[in-house]
Amino acid sequence: MPQDDRETIASLPGRGPFREYYDGPMLSRAQSIADLRARAHKLMPRFVLEYLEGGAGEEAALTRERTAFADWRFLPRMLRDVSHRSARHAVLDRDARLPLAIAPTGLNGLFMRHADLALARAAARFGVPFIQSTMSNETMEDVARIPGLRHWWQLYVFGGERIWHELVDRALACGCEALVLTVNSQVYGMREWDERQRIGRSLPSPSTTLDAARHPRWLASTLNHGMPEFANVRHFLPEDKRGFFEGAFWIRDQMPKDLGWRHVEAIRKRWHGPLLIKGLIHPGDVREAMEHGVDGVILGTHGGRQADWSVSALDVLPEVRELVPRDKALMISGGIRRGSDILKALALGADAVLTGRATLYGLCAHGEGGVRKALEILETEMLNDLGQIGVETLDQLGSNIVVPAKDPPALHPAG
């Protein structure tokens, strides 16, 4: 077993050669998502990294979202023409450069000022959709103005009905392509790291403040412009709850604990475009979602931040695929760090994946250019992997090309 995380199978225990990630300023030298992550860790203060990286409780769901990919191996084919490989794929019935959308992540203003504009611009220029969170620090109208953007709106239901009515109406007026209703956060995951950063609900701890002060570059690009605000819902917050921390707690407290299918039905009636439900894991819930006329589901555990000890999206994907007709979208989120992860997800039945941290590492490391770089890295890896496994296009991926890592099934000679 490696003694520290710089040791790999190619190292002699304790003697190396140790793997070094590139965390310097030259974007072109970043080779993998791990390099972007290393630079993000160099630049961000500790409390921001905790927010970016952390999961709920024991972080078992967080770990599983990553390790689940290791349970599947490729079964490569040789002597196949792989001269014309492509990673393009339809996402919600429209061609995209990758089978991917950038996941909704709230409070991105902690990483840099105007972070959601940077993420959305990178998504638009690269050619994949961007999902904006209800907890975003930019208005949806500002994001909607980005040329060529495939803009999806992620809805949290909180407070009275008039809040989600207004958000849905605004998303319609903004021309958002899809509505993503997140349903796994009505009871907020226990995130101890988050509690340790603060004294009470609004005061950062002295060590958090000190550590933030030691990151002048981050301060200059974020908090020197004031604390980020919940730009889309600020006007719903009571006046004394409009501060960053107070607002986040207030919204959390207002999440109805009885969110149910009747809410889905009401949202379905008001929203005229594609409606996706995000945060399902249980096949029974996916079946119900299909019965309630949604256009797709996004499986996942909120990047391990909800439902600790849950199985991961990849674990249930093959079973869920059987329940989701081909004219509905089946996406997964959680743990995507490599092009091979995306290929495995598609081979096991997903139509597309979401990236949360992978693209956020790029954002923290290099802003908009870093997000684009993260997407390019995933694309390069996918195209390379396709060549290695003897597949030209993503629609050729299937259970004939991935097998469980342990106990592989008997091979079909004609497969």
Ligand X SMILES: Cc1cc2nc3c(=O)[nH]c(=O)nc-3n(C[C@H](O)[C@H](O)[C@H](O)COP(=O)(O)O)c2cc1C
CB 164 within 8 A of CB 155: yes
Shortest distance, CB of residue 153 to ligand X, whole angstroms? 11
Q: Which is nearer to ligand X, 24 or 260 (CB)?
A: 260
Q: How many residues at the interface with ligand X, by CB under 6 A?
A: 25
Under the binding rule (CB under 6 A), the answer on residue 55 touching ligand X is no
Rounded to 10 degrees, the C-alpha dihedral 393/399/405/411 comes to: -110
Residue 302 is a catalytic residue: yes
Q: Is 302 left (phi over 0), alpha (psi -120 to 50) or beta?
A: left
C-alpha span between 345 and 87 (Å, rounded) = 13
CB 337 within 8 A of CB 356: no
Binding to ligand X (CB under 6 A) within 131-150 occurs at 133, 135
Cα dist. 140→167, 175, 230, 233, 327 in Å? Answer: 9, 10, 11, 10, 28
Shortest distance, CB of residue 181 to ligand X, whole angstroms? 9
Pick the stretch among 141-149, 238-246, 315-323, 348-356 that binds ligand X (CB under 6 A).
348-356
Q: Which two tokens stand for residue 32?
A: 């993998």
Nearest to 370 by CA among 21, 35, 106, 20: 35
Site map for ligand X, 284-303, x if CB under 6 A? ----------------x-xx
C-alpha span between 387 and 348 (Å, rounded) = 19
> Considering only residues 124, 355, 363, 372, which one is a binding residue for ligand X as defined by CB under 6 A?
355
Helix, strand, or coil (residue 240): helix
Shortest distance, CB of residue 230 to ligand X, whole angstroms? 11
> Considering only residues 129, 247, 296, 335, which one is a binding residue for ligand X as defined by CB under 6 A?
335
**What crossing angle do the helices spanning 357-389 and 339-347 adopt, rounded to 10°?**
70
Q: Which two tokens stand for residue 269?
A: 């009636």
> Considering only residues 356, 362, 367, 370, which one is a binding residue for ligand X as defined by CB under 6 A?
356
Shortest distance, CB of residue 358 to ligand X, whole angstroms? 6
DSSP letter at 332 equals E
Site map for ligand X, 147-186, x if CB under 6 A? -------x---------------------------x----
Q: Which of 165, 302, 366, 412 is catalytic?
A: 302
Binding to ligand X (CB under 6 A) within 57-76 occurs at 65
Q: Which is nearer to ligand X, 23 or 333 (CB)?
A: 333
Q: Which two tokens stand for residue 375?
A: 């997407």
Pick the stretch among 101-109, 203-211, 267-275, 374-382 that binds ligand X (CB under 6 A).
101-109
Alpha helices (H) in 197-275, listed in sequence order: 206-213, 216-221, 244-253, 261-270
Under the binding rule (CB under 6 A), the answer on residue 104 touching ligand X is yes
C-alpha span between 39 and 45 (Å, rounded) = 12
Q: Which is nearer to ligand X, 349 or 356 (CB)?
A: 356
Q: Which is nearer to ligand X, 367 or 391 (CB)?
A: 367
* Residues near ligand X (CB under 6 A): 51-52, 65, 103-106, 133, 135, 154, 182, 278, 300, 302-303, 305, 333-336, 354-358
Catalytic positions are 302
